[in-house]
Structure 1
């Protein structure tokens, strides 16, 4: 195991004053870069899949977060923990290997623009920015499914991202497809693909959340009806 401490920033917070989901990936990638700097991880390993599990909200602190990293074969596991390591907030698991091809353009068609600031030194969108682009597109798609939802009614429990081919900047928008892939009693899953999956695919599991009591809740009838109507076969 290797512990790396990363200072927090005001910009890490979302509208609920919790650390934004994307920032957990940013913490993990920052720690990954340090592992490369210290020759503990090769810098040219292709990424096949990234799975992020969200355990509990993380609030802003003057103390840095601890990223605890361990490598087992082709898998890098990184735990986002409190400064002293006692509290676990998120786990980021990165599987290395060649991306598996995906070709599925089902779902609601949307458009996604890449900014030059999304692109890293290699000319492709960075993994953190890719995660953010998927999140923004998912929110845009979700708004059309449940247009009158209230902030804080759902929280993300897990995201599985398959990067696909490197995503370069271009003037034209990329086609994106998004759909509801599963509806349960207290959660649902949303799948988003860039150009049918050529440039990546992500499935997010969202959980009903009671903002007042700060705990999970069951989906109400209206939510289940709207989500089921937007669902496509697996």
Structure 2
């Protein structure tokens, strides 16, 4: 697998290149935005690890231009840890966003996960009954009414709607939405589902989010009784 790293910090770039090569990847390194964009367009890569703050051309502009030409998997690796930057990266089409300082093991696992599922990207718009979720615009509509959600509520609904028809355990939900191992003494998942229901289901006759007792939660699972 061929990976392109676009990183202007010399120590970080060298560290990533060395570590990924030791894990069996073919790795190229670009230290400026312009060089990174040129290499991404002219060579064949399976994935790009992309910094945001780069000389010449920043990561936002690089991903915009790449997305006009190809659907190459991209992971942002940036010191910009504010929520708005993470949302911006995902809106522009990144497959993942990891904040510096980072764990190399975690980065390599995320790379492996993305490469394992291939370059086929999921749809940007999901629908269930009269509910519509637009990933790129970060917008949720139900019966034509826009519903404002927090970032975690959006991530939770995105998980439920893209896996509608399945019942997800609290452990699965906690792992994917909060990136944490579920603690049975913690009710963070239950509280989040309750808040999401208040916005998505409470104002409407048809209820879409379901509880399966002793199992977990699902969306649009008509064979189960809503609890």
Normalising by structure 2, we get a TM-score of: 0.30
Bigger proportion of residues as strand = 1
Q: Which one has the largest radius of gyration?
A: 2
The one of the two structures with greater contact order (alpha-carbon pairs below 8 A, sep at least 6) is: 1
Q: Which has the higher helix share?
A: 2
